[in-house]
Amino acid sequence: MQTVNIHEAKSQLSRLIEAAVGGEEVVIAKAGTPVVRLVAVERSPKLRLGLMKGKIKIASDFNAPLPEDILATFEGR
């Protein structure tokens, strides 16, 4: 963990960002008192469309009304 004062952080921001992206935690202090932490943002994995293509089948009667006995279960009858 690296601690720098605000003045140094302003003049070395690019270097501090690179350190944070590299996994280092950077603490920015005001008059020697820590006030903020600079850390990299966690990136979510890219969404890949079509991975399950051909592996999932939807029944032809998917939108058909439910049978009365099953419908009654959902409605609490």
**Residue 34 carries which side chain, given as an amino acid letter?**
P
pLDDT digit string, tens, across residues 26-69: 999 999 999 999 999 988 888 888 888 899 889 999 999 989 99
Looking at domain 2-38, its CATH architecture is 3-Layer(aba) Sandwich (3.40)
Instruction: Provide the pLDDT for residue 16.
Output: 96
Strands ordered across the beta sheet of 2-5: 2-5, 26-30, 33-38
Q: Are 35 and 9 in contact (CB under 8 A)?
A: no
